[in-house]
Chains A and B, each alone.
Chain A
């Protein structure tokens, strides 16, 4: 081909190509309409179960594109709202410090090899006839129980201990006095009067979510339950009870004895003479007038339940049981907390085995034994040769550091399992997400592996094992997964046989002299310490003191005077040979000579959690006090001082709440609240019922998770900054304490909107007060002008606290805010928008805080469509808006 031809062909083809590339002349329409059917940005919900020790709750996990992003309650199991601890497990799943590889003696290894190594070790010990001790936390899994029993039956030298980090005296005494193995949880739906003797049922109790639900449900149905608290500490239960009797710990027993004698006298109940004599002897100290209490009890005869708490002494617990027996309270419907007590696994047995430390193999399953151990148990654990300690854990905790073989565990959102929830139904735990780390194993898988190895069989699949253990058909199984629970045909009832012979056994210990009573509660948000690795929970303020990141001891006013203590002073608390130092805060609501401490702190320090300077109270205890959560301690002032990190949420017992609860004239004129002429589509309002709100702060955490709010750390809290979109505080009214949750009030006449120079704060067509993060330049003018001061500012790039793995946890529908930007509650505008896109706006939607509220105190409604519902919610309660005199027209209404 010559040159000319080549050029002409080239150009000719180019012309053709250009011609062919012309756009069609006809009008075409691209497919840009959002479609409900094949979009992959839908949220999918899965039912599963999560548990804090043996308290399991059925939950729904909200996922997007396969990632779990939120944990909410499963309505079909009559539980609304969600415990903060369980909500925050989503953080644990993606924790930056999660173990990546199995480790054998500081060397990384692979899972197969490490498991083989574990089994070799175990087999070696079986052959030698030495004891193998599996230590695990309390659980409520039937499947796990089955596996444990199978393994136990294979070889007697394998022992399992459900290590109770916070020992329940009640469970022990129930088994001794009533012949019931476990802690009794009353079904409150038939009970009219609940007397809590130091039991923090609404706060630190493992089953708090259940109690919170039931009590609020009773309020809803106008069949109010009367809650009387007798305590020396100041708990959330005391805060929310109808009557709180503050009494010194030493006098509770005498009060109870007096009460028992008076009630028995009125009911003509015959108490054995021996017991009566003892009661008369104890009663003599009582100075409290019990008339009202006795009449209350007699009025609600057969519908009373009295419960003692974890801090109660044996005497108090025994007296409580006796009172319940006299009042016939055990005839009501009750539940037994699953696996809460087993004689053969008693801790004393574990101590006995540890007497010969060389001859045992310790396998710790998700239990940070070295942290939870009391001082002498710790010493004993150190005597065990390190080759004989194997740990399975999620993170690099102290037990993992002290073990020879350390294997990463699967998170409970990653593996199959099951659990028994309180109403005795079973719930299957589904793996919501494929294990992030393939070199990990779940406890169930491990036990199956060991079982099959011992009997020399092929390793079976956990799914098949679990499914076959329930004997369900394929269809029933799928239904169980969809509904989230399996109906348990087993009988709920159990027999109570009171054994008065043993009653007096618990009365012969005498008390030494001491300065003060130390009451040790589990922490409200960190539990016994198993949740202390989650910074979100560390940052949640204690509803009573407002303290976060630390666990200072609360001391009563007379102690502070006696030792000249101010907030932040560090004291030395000594019990027998052990001592800890702890900062103090003064709580005027405590009974005299009372100190309240919280477990769960001082466990974990790592780069992602640099501030864990809390006190580990487990160190204070020894073998004699291992079962006690109330210690008679001596205290001593030290020269040190610590700054206590606090978020504003104090109890204002002395403040006059009048200027908060606005003038009477507004209470009668609600009509102007309902003016909504401006809006033709929607007008969203939130109603918060303070008569129901118990101040648990679960909503704050739910809001944080939903809206990608980072934690800020203790240093920032000390500087007076936090990013919580909801603020909690307690006020004193003539009707008692009231918890007030303040979020952005979405004012009609918003002061923040007027002052923003760049129009980043605007009013939406739905009456929402919107913040455009991209437009905000951070003058903070809106913060100064907000009368509720609920707008938060990103002083640093707090979002960088979401390190790489945590990015997966973020809600994809919400922006992550950068440095220098103001943010605040948006009424979960992402949910509203999603809803408006696909659904009829006249239906109800839920905000994140409402979703987590266990008492149903928060309602989110549309003023245009839900007039009747709003009227119904308001009922005859006082309707107020905050700082009405400013005429800001808030969209958040409070019922008092």
Chain B
């Protein structure tokens, strides 16, 4: 991409670890995703029509799976932009292995993440537009002090920027695809999507400048949006939420889980998608190194949290730490530390770093651990209130689990369709790099 960079960013040396019948597996995987999505849609409809009472939330733990899933998905969304934008700015050319899946993931994840705050409100038919400051004769305005309003603005903006970034990056590929598929009906669609791209140097020049500019805009946005998501928690008085470390903590967590997820879906794409290119072990290793770094960062955050409690001497925070080690949260906390810190340490070993299967497994474990961590933050903190005797309980119902699996289904349904339809490797970029 960059003229001065002559490194070969793609090699064809990756060992093919998947030898099964891909087409059948694709159909099975897609069908499962669609089924998951459909049952999630039914649960959503039931939640709308009957009420939030069908969930397990109660007087004390009034946020649970909904917000956990929201934070989880919005966290996943962030690493997509990170990989595309920040690595672009840092001139890490190996990103082109990951950037298209990651950007696609960002888009789908934001949409999923956005649905949760809407579903989780008591009156979603009003909530989706009452948060917007539209002029009205009652002179009613939303409360700009509320972190939820910041969310309401930050996330759509992030969505729009990501969408533009994603689309812009695909314009040359659309043009190429339309030329390749001269017979197909899709060709005209691709041609329209390519916005008259003919690949002359002026277009490339403008393209690169815009792309860089958008990357420049997107990068602070990653930081800002996820900080705002963390403000939902850190501006409150709830012990366990009321921490200044939350913005960097959430961003680290987001990138951590996001990288793991990108690893998962890239390997999946390789499995189901075009056979032309495969992830080189070099790139796999680079991504694994990032994951390892963020795993250590997460460990640092956990230690800081404990330090905060002891340093401040705040009895509520100390109580929470006590619960994490000895109390009701101990199992959760143990699983979180195990999957987010201890297991990723395997990536210190070259053998594991280079194995696609091990990378996939570790990434899946990290995703599980990161979901649990969000669950621990949301439910664990709300379960105990600061007044004596305010001890709550929470058990998810079928509908909440169904919504979680429904969101996973929705993601893979859209993703699996898109990898067949859209140019998922930036062929031009790769070829361009190779030709250098």
Given A757-B131, A820-B123 in contact, is the A883-B236 Cβ separation under 8 Å? Answer: no
- Cβ-defined contact, A883 with B387, below 8 A: yes
Question: 0/1 per residue, A646-659, Cβ < 8 Å to B?
Answer: 00101010010101
Which of A335-343, A537-545, A673-681, A774-782 touches B?
A774-782
Known: A778-B52, A796-B53, A882-B387. A757 touches B152 (CB 8 A): yes
A776 near B59 with CB under 8 A, answer no
Task: State whether B62 touches A719 (Cβ < 8 A).
Answer: no
A sample of 24 inter-chain contacts (CB < 8 A) reads A648-B390, A716-B53, A754-B235, A755-B148, A757-B148, A758-B130, A758-B143, A776-B122, A777-B122, A778-B52, A779-B117, A779-B127, A781-B232, A784-B62, A784-B236, A784-B382, A787-B386, A789-B387, A793-B62, A794-B51, A797-B51, A819-B51, A820-B52, A822-B122
Complex CA–CA separation, A797 to B146 (angstroms):
27
* Bound CA span A358–B390, Å: 59
Could you tell me the distance in whole angstroms from the C-beta of B119 to the nearest C-beta in chain A?
11
Query: Which of these, A652, A731, A780, A795, contacts B53 with CB under 8 Å?
Result: A795
A756→B382 CA distance, assembly (Å): 18
Q: Would A820 and B63 count as touching, CB distance under 8 A?
A: no
Residue B392 is within 8 A (CB to CB) of chain A in the complex = yes
- From the candidates A757, A787, A820, name the one contacting B143 in the complex (CB within 8 A): A757
- Judging by beta carbons under 8 Å apart, are A652 and B389 in contact? yes
| Contact between chains at B122 and A820 (CB < 8 Å) | yes
Residues A794 and B122 in contact, CB atoms below 8 Å apart: yes
Query: Is B206 among interface residues, defined by CB-CB distance under 8 A?
Result: no
Would you give the shortest CB distance from B60 to chain A, in whole angstroms?
A: 6
Alpha-carbon distance A822/B123, docked complex (angstroms): 11
The answer to whether B121 and A777 touch across the interface, beta carbons within 8 angstroms, is yes
Within 8 A of B (CB), among A817-849: 818-822
Dominant secondary structure at the A interface: loop
Known: A754-B145, A758-B131. A720 touches B121 (CB 8 A): no
The answer, yes or no, to whether A494 is at the interface (CB within 8 Å) is no
- Say yes or no: B388 contacts A731, CB within 8 Å: yes
B53 nearest in chain A by CB position: A795
Q: Which residues of A contact B143 (CB under 8 A)?
A: 753-759
Interface centre among A729, A789, A822 (most CB of B within 10 A): A789
Interface residues of A (CB under 8 A from B): 648, 650, 652, 655, 657, 659-660, 716, 719-722, 729, 731, 742, 751, 753-759, 775-781, 783-785, 787-789, 792-797, 818-822, 882-883, 886
Pairwise interchain contact B130-A777, C-beta atoms closer than 8 A: yes
Q: Are A755 and B59 in contact (CB under 8 A)?
A: no
> Chain B: interface secondary structure?
loop
Chain B residue contacts of A754, Cβ below 8 A: 143, 145-146, 235
Q: Across the interface, name the chain B residue whose C-beta is closest to A788.
A: B387
Q: How far is the CA of A256 from the CA of B52 in the complex (A)?
A: 57
Closest 8 A/B residue pairs (Cβ)? A778-B122, A820-B122, A720-B58, A795-B53, A777-B127, A757-B148, A796-B53, A820-B123
Chain B residues positioned under 8 Å from A819 (CB to CB) = 51, 122-123
B160 within 8 A of A: no
Within 8 Å of chain A (Cβ to Cβ): is B147? Answer: yes
In the complex, what distance in Å separates the CA atom of A268 from the CA atom of B2? Answer: 113
- Cα–Cα distance between A785 and B234 once the two chains are bound (Å): 10
B: interface residue count bin? 35 or more
B392 and A720 form a contact (CB under 8 A): yes
Whole-angstrom CA separation of A825 from B387 in the bound complex: 18
Which residue in chain B gives the minimum CB-CB distance to A781?
B148
Any A CB within 8 A of the CB of B420: no
Contact across chains for B51 and A785 when beta carbons are under 8 A apart: no
User: Would B387 and A779 count as touching, CB distance under 8 A?
Assistant: no
Q: Check A784/B238 contact, CB under 8 A, given A757-B149, A792-B59.
A: yes
Q: Is B120 an interface residue (CB 8 A)?
A: yes
Residue of B62, B121, B393 near A783 (CB, 8 A) is B62
Given contacts A759-B142, A781-B232, 14 further A-B contacts (CB under 8 A): A657-B388, A719-B53, A721-B59, A755-B236, A757-B149, A758-B142, A784-B62, A784-B63, A784-B382, A787-B237, A787-B385, A788-B385, A793-B62, A883-B387
Q: How far is the CA of A794 from the CA of B61 in the complex (A)?
A: 14
Using Cβ atoms and an 8 Å threshold, which residues of chain B touch A789?
59-60, 385, 387, 390
B60 contacts A720, CB within 8 Å? yes
CB neighbours of B236 from chain A (8 A): 751, 755, 784-785
**B389 touches which of A650, A758, A781 (Cβ 8 Å):** A650
The verdict on B50 contacting chain A, using a C-beta distance below 8 Å, is: yes
Q: Which residues of chain A come closer than 8 Å to B146, judged between CB atoms?
A: 754-757, 781
Say if the beta carbon of B189 comes within 8 Å of chain A. Answer: no
A276 CB to nearest B CB, Å: 50
Question: Is B22 part of the binding interface, using a Cβ–Cβ cutoff of 8 Å?
Answer: no
Q: Are B238 and A785 in contact (CB under 8 A)?
A: yes
Shortest Cβ distance from B238 into A: residue: A784
CB–CB B53/A776 < 8 A: no
Complex Cα distance A729/B392, Å? Answer: 14
B90 at interface, CB cutoff 8 A: no
Chain A proximity of B176: nearest CB distance (Å): 45
Docked CA distance A327–B213 (Å):
97
User: How far apart are B19's CB and chain A's nearest CB, in angstroms?
Assistant: 50
Q: Bits for B130-147, please: 1 = Cβ < 8 Å to A, else 0.
A: 110000000011110111
